[in-house]
Chains A and B, each alone.
Chain A
Amino acid sequence: MGRYIKKRLLQAIPVIFGITILTFFIMKLAPGGPLTGMISPRTSSESLQRAREAMGLNDPIILQYWNWLKELVQGNFGYSTYNGQPVLGMILERLPATLLLTVTAFVFSFVVGIPLGVYSATHKYSKTDYGLTVFSFIGISVPSFFFGMGMIYIFALKLKWFPTSGFGSSSFSGTGIELFLHRLRYLVMPAIVMSLANIATVMRFARSSMIETLSQDYIRTARAKGLAEKSVIYKHALKNSLIPVITIFGQSIPNLFGGAYITEKVFGWPGMGLLGVEAIGNRDYQVLMGLTLFTAVLVLLGNLLADIMYSFVDPRIRY
């Protein structure tokens, strides 16, 4: 197992380089470059030349990449072309809100998805199973912004159960449990919208994994020795069928982060997605680039973690 983890970590190194190279070259495509935010109409062409020279923009591309990478390792993600602030600071400022939303949606999708999938599998080809299958198709097909707008229309505007958007009221001054409940009202709708597609994916995966497990020999043995069906399903089958579900952990991270743009825009949730939407409007390439790179690294780490977890849970993994 130690060997597997070591190999998996080594494999991640070229991927990290790949991510940075791809990001760097996409950034090179951007018009203007990092100087755009600093030029005024009165900047002379000589001083522009000097600035280009000073920033190393005339160096060979490989050298530029290397210098950029060195800055990156030290935490310098560049500066916003719109307001000149450091990009990493802007991202970190928005990170907690996005993490709150994504982690809630993540937990929610597994807590809801797994039981539904298991129920579906143990009641294979029943009416409920059929209904849940149709539901899972609906879940992966409904555009999240349309679903979000529908939720706002029904639950915020008609029924007035939840606020339409935002992260909390600015006049609210409670602390502790009060603050938590206050936030929760704002969190419910975006978290549901964000997790819908993931619930469907987890459910389908859990269903097929459970069906697969139930056809194994050791399940037949368990039944043959006269165990109650409940104990067969929940004690013998469930644990083994959940192992492959771990792979969905890793896969759902990019989907959730990718959904952040849409969900946060619909609900005005002040996270990284909304930062990205603002950056699109301002044509702020540095911020978009920083966000892309930042999430790519998060996804890589998430996948790595999922694989390592897998090798702990399932010692049969050999590499």
Chain B
Amino acid sequence: MDDIKIKGTPKTPTVNFIKEEGKLEIKGRSIPENSIEFYKPLIDWIEHYSASPSDKTKINIQLEYFNTSSSKCILDVFKKLEAVSGDLIVNWYYEEDDEDMLEAGEDYEAIINIPFKMIEVEEI
């Protein structure tokens, strides 16, 4: 299977899903009108990945903004990841003082059965 490498736009995030490294990264902004279209290939990729995943899978979510249409899709991404075997960790990045983004991460942490690590950074 091929890795996913998508360059970010003002409305969609940068995506890097690297199978060999077990590294899944979504960063930037996710505010498209139709998120389902954008996230469908990512969810399909994880489905394939779960057939032969790395021992360790690291998921880095580093978002500056996301809309509610994306929030359901991000949940779908996490739900698919719950089925991946091995060690999993979600690194949820948020800008300092951005308590809304921190809370958003905590919402997912409460719903999803994967360990989360909240990481404060100066700028996303």
A, B assembled together = no
